[in-house]
């Protein structure tokens, strides 16, 4: 065991796997919510009634600036401590997990702040963790690769093996992103009159510049928006990402991204825009043919991507860490020819088979679902998880400057 991590044993409020399991097992759905949504399909529309009565007891899905969150680590810890102190009036506790995407930097930073400032954190229970982006290709009747995110709790934030695994994946993913941008510029920049750059791509998708999460989808959003922005707006006084941030709800429909961006652009500028020309359609299709090559297929998962089962096996081999399947109702099951319950049974079966006892949880109380489709899947997910005695955990998937909202934008 790392000597620095041994010090955690001196602080009972830095929680390991068994403490997490015992605490989460005692909670219910309302304990993972700051309040009731005024509109169940709108994120961050809570009335904060549960927060006020001391029953908001855990947010186990929080991101910092170390991945794609807007909040500083210390800022988030202090906000969680304030909730924990308030809850103590009701003989209630509060647990926070830092779970940055594809890096343990946030967990390490939070661990050191929490450990080294005991006078400032006298009430909060803290769990060091992370969220790993993985690719699933082994489900029954699956026709296309699927993204499954894996939450890992109670990690050793000084684990060299885990740190090296994550850093190598990020290095390879960043290399793949740069290569794809080079191909896009070689094929399109002469005709378009501008180039695609990594800093620009990161204006909305911060993680792409860090080598985290995907490559294809962020580049799809970036190239589509940049092309349409330059096509429609002459001498613009705003950058391409502004409409995306301001009208993010428009991008949650099933419409093609180019249609959603055009609508956002119309709302942002207050003017009706003409249809996308065939010439621009051809450019968008050409861009698609390039960034699609940066994604796994059913036959091949490039080294830059983490296989779901292999990653679960790897985490289970470490001394510290237990796992949860993150936001299962966000998994795209349209590429699998089976019933929803059978699909999730298959996912959880693979999870338990690869992870054993460390495959312990699923995010049954995820607080940031939106849309009828995701919400309708929850009973089937619960039934499938119960077959493997998985414990429901939860969180808001917070990306903001506090631990009671999701949105990263002010």
> What phi, psi does 101 have (nearest 5°)?
-70, 125
In a domain, 299, yes or no: no
Assess whether 178 and 57 both reside in one domain: no
* Closest to 227 measured CA to CA, from 195, 187, 274, 179: 195
Assess whether 172 and 154 both reside in one domain: no
Assess whether 269 and 186 both reside in one domain: yes
In a domain, 108, yes or no: yes
* Closest to 159 measured CA to CA, from 18, 355, 319: 319
Owning domain of residue 36: 3-159+318-395
DSSP structure class, residue 274 = P
Calpha distance 263→209 (Å, rounded): 27
Q: What are 242-265's pLDDT values in tens digits?
A: 999 999 889 888 899 999 999 999
In a domain, 403, yes or no: no
Calpha distance 373→142 (Å, rounded): 20
Q: What are 37-81's pLDDT values in tens digits?
A: 988 778 889 999 999 999 999 999 999 999 999 999 999 999 999
Give the pLDDT score at 212: 94
pLDDT tens for the 410 residues of the chain, in order? 466 665 554 556 688 888 999 999 999 999 999 999 988 778 889 999 999 999 999 999 999 999 999 999 999 999 999 999 999 999 999 999 999 999 999 999 999 999 889 899 999 999 999 999 999 999 999 999 999 999 999 999 999 999 999 999 999 999 999 999 999 999 999 999 999 999 999 998 889 999 999 999 999 999 999 999 999 998 889 999 999 999 988 988 889 999 999 999 999 999 999 999 999 999 999 999 999 999 999 999 999 999 999 999 999 999 999 999 999 999 999 999 999 999 999 999 999 999 999 999 999 999 999 878 888 999 999 999 999 999 999 999 999 999 999 987 64
Assess whether 99 and 218 both reside in one domain: no
Assess whether 331 and 362 both reside in one domain: yes
Number of domains in the chain: 2
For helices 73-87 and 105-116, what crossing angle results, to 10°? 50
Q: What are 285-319's pLDDT values in tens digits?
A: 999 999 999 999 999 999 999 999 999 999 999 99
Q: Do 135 and 302 form a contact (C-beta atoms < 8 A)?
A: no
CATH code for the domain of 115 = 3.20.20.140
Assess whether 290 and 330 both reside in one domain: no
349 by Cβ neighbours in 10 Å (0-12 / 13-18 / 19+) ranks as middle
In a domain, 310, yes or no: no
Calpha distance 33→48 (Å, rounded): 8
Assess whether 31 and 155 both reside in one domain: yes
């Amino acid at each position: 065991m790392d000597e620095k991590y041994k010090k955690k044993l001196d602080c009972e409020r830095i929680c390991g796997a068994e403490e997490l399991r015992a605490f989460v097992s005692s909670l219910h759905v309302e304990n993972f919510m700051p309040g009731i949504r005024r509109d169940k399909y709108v994120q961050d529309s809570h009335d904060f009634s549960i927060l006020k009565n001391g029953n908001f007891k855990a947010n186990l899905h929080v991101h910092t600036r170390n991945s794609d969150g807007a909040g500083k680590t210390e800022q988030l810890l202090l906000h969680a401590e304030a909730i924990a102190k308030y809850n103590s009036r009701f003989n209630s506790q509060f647990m926070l997990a830092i779970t940055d995407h594809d890096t343990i930097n946030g967990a390490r930073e939070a661990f050191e702040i929490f450990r080294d400032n005991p006078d400032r954190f006298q009430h909060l229970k803290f769990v060091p963790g992370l969220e790993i982006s993985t690719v699933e290709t082994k489900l029954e009747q699956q026709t296309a690769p699927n993204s499954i995110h894996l939450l890992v709790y109670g990690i050793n934030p000084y684990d060299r093996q885990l740190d090296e695994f994550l850093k190598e994946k990020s290095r390879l993913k960043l290399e793949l992103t740069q290569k794809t941008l080079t191909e896009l510029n070689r094929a399109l920049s002469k005709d378009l009159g501008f180039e695609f750059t990594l800093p620009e791509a990161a204006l909305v998708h911060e993680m792409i510049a860090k080598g985290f999460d995907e490559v294809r989808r962020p580049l799809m959003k970036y190239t589509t928006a940049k092309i349409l922005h330059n096509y429609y707006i002459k001498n613009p006084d705003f950058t391409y990402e502004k409409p995306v941030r301001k009208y993010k709800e428009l991008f949650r429909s099933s419409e093609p991204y180019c249609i959603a961006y055009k609508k956002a652009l119309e709302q942002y500028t207050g003017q009706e825009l003409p249809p996308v020309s065939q010439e621009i359609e051809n450019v968008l299709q050409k861009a698609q043919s390039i960034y699609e090559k940066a994604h796994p297929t059913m036959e091949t998962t490039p080294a830059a991507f983490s296989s779901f089962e292999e990653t679960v096996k790897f985490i289970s081999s470490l001394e510290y860490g237990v796992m949860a399947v993150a936001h299962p109702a966000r998994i795209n099951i349209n590429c699998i020819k089976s019933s929803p319950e059978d699909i999730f049974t298959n996912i959880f079966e693979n999870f338990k088979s690869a992870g054993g006892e460390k495959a312990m949880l699923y995010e049954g109380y995820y607080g940031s679902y939106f849309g009828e489709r995701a919400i309708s899947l929850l009973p089937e997910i619960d039934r499938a998880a119960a077959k493997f005695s998985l414990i429901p955990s939860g969180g808001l998937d917070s990306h903001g400057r506090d631990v009671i909202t999701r949105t990263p934008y002010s």
